[in-house]
Homo-oligomer: A and B are copies of this chain.
């Protein structure tokens, strides 16, 4: 298990050149995966400190599965891996953005992106999919 230094206060956290992730009360940070080529947002998942450290070290997107309660190397069973080309962190360091080269579909439904439905009022549509 890796450790990171704790977050700083106020604007110091926004401007520091040190990685000081702000994990939530469950020890997790939100991670957005974006296709490095197309810019499409592929998925939102979660990382604990170990998953973040492994992602940085290995260049393979590694998350924390909240449902299974375990480290999850994306694509380890499906083959739909994410090769990380860049990691960004947001102002207060409670979210990371991964730019990835995605093999296969990012979504467990085998679609390219998890965001395959559009909200039209209270209903959802499936743009680009046949009826």
A residues adjacent to B (C-beta < 8 A): 4, 11, 14-19, 30, 32, 34, 38-41, 43-44, 56, 86-91, 94-97, 107-109, 111, 114-119, 121-126
Contact = CB atoms under 8 A, between A and B. Distances in A.
Q: Is the interface of A mostly helix, strand, loop or mixed?
A: mixed
A19 B119 contact: yes
Given A32-B41, A109-B14, A56 B88 contact: no
Nearest to A15: B109
B107 A91 contact: yes
Given A44-B30, A90-B114, A97-B41, A17 B119 contact: no
Nearest to A108: B91
Contacts of A34: 41
A110 to B, nearest CB: 11
A81 to B, nearest CB: 19
Nearest to A55: B119
Contacts of A16: 124
Given A17-B117, A19-B123, 13 more contacts: A18-B122, A30-B44, A32-B32, A34-B41, A41-B41, A44-B90, A56-B122, A86-B118, A88-B118, A89-B119, A90-B115, A96-B119, A97-B115
